Structure 1
């Protein structure tokens, strides 16, 4: 007899994964904020607690992630508590991601860059992409609170661009949401510069200077210019995207 499968009330349209708390904010929060404004339901799953970060603590990152989630307007956020810097693409971690995908049943998954300055980014990208496929195999069994989950495979997995520039396969217009994106990033007050708290006793890092946030804005300006809008975020996809009508394309300005 087929077991009773979990019918989740937590289904979302978009599930965004970040290996560290603040990856989603830096890479795709403009897309998330715009999608929420369009009526989409979004969840965020962080793979690690960012415990190896030079500045801040697990506790401060948890509070900051919750603050950023409110700014982005996401419906759910959780942390899988894998080992920052040392997590592996193994069965245990793959099953954790499979369970998260089945829990939220997204149509679209957003995740880390295919390769990047931080080695965790590319590794987590592979982990999530593999789990997204395996989540659709019904013979792989997972459960929530002792109740079996239903198999679920998202239609698309898109990889957001992070530190290194990677030529995007498509870009998402975030022109009306750039200020809110920066606010979501600056919710991580231990990690990034804010005018409200410019000084810190902790060591200066690559991402804690005022100039770093300017590079985030500059990237969005550059990608926006490519489609004739002010700001955009870029994505890579291994699966070809198809359209049924030309109205699906963004109208470029002349």
Structure 2
């Protein structure tokens, strides 16, 4: 994905950091631009910390992760974890951000998930892509921008019906950059509910790399059952 602008939109801080963080790091290393967007902080995901305390921690972790891989970081911190709704108001906010950043590639959650915030984040991203490129929509909010490519991330919570057909090779340098950065997120380290996120996604990179005939790869779906593609 050389010299491209890539925007990844997740329901919570950490979602896209795990799923496509290596891809974003690779985009930056290749001379491109990367942006991480979280539609909520994800502040209700800690069994021992209070909501306000964990919200502050998640915001700090999100900023630190993005800085470590060279990505921009944006969060809709006024929307609460668990209460994300696919309204036109939220989609319009994201559409304005799309017009400002002007990505070539937009990455969203897959359409089906065990987490409704993820499903709603997908719907919001699809709607925002449409609005950002719609002639005559909100001309006061920036020049219209049509995003050339929308892809869906591979996420263990969003597995139902997901079929990968696009693979982004990840260099050792990008992997190591991501691996160091993601250690800064408590939930990724397994400190919330014990799931071994970092091990899972690290192993997934190797497995998908086997299919892409490279050391490591991030797998994505075009959503339309497309043919096997290795993204440059």
Partners of 2:214 and 2:63 in 1: how far apart? 30
Residues 14-69 of structure 1 deviation map (CA, whole Å, 9 limit, x = unaligned): 11211111111111011111111110011222111112112551111111111101
User: 1:118 deviation in Å?
Assistant: 2.1
Partners of 1:78 and 1:249 in 2: how far apart? 28
SS of residue matched to 1:235: strand
- 8 Å contact kept, 2:26–2:171: no
Residues 136-156 of structure 1 deviation map (CA, whole Å, 9 limit, x = unaligned): 11322165xxxx321112111
User: 1:249 deviation in Å?
Assistant: 5.2
Q: Which residue of 2 aligns with 1:3?
A: none
User: 1:130 deviation in Å?
Assistant: 1.7
Q: TM-score, normalised by structure 2?
A: 0.84
Q: Which residue of 2 aligns with 1:179?
A: 176
Pick aligned residue for 2:21 from 11, 16, 29: 29
Pick aligned residue for 2:149 from 141, 156, 163: 156
| Greater Cα shift, 87-96 or 28-37 | 87-96
1:212 and 2:197 aligned? yes
Partners of 2:28 and 2:122 in 1: how far apart? 23
Gaps of 5+ in 2: none
Q: Which residue of 2 aligns with 1:221?
A: 206
Report matched runs for 1:104-119 at 5 Å.
104-119=101-116
Q: TM-score, normalised by structure 1?
A: 0.77
Count of residues in correspondence between the two structures: 218
Q: Which residue of 1 aligns with 2:8?
A: 16
Partners of 2:128 and 2:35 in 1: how far apart? 17
Q: Which has the larger radius of gyration?
A: 1
Compared with structure 1, are the counterparts of its residues 104 and 130 closer, same or farther at alpha carbon in structure 2 (3 Å cutoff)? Answer: same
SS of residue matched to 1:83: coil
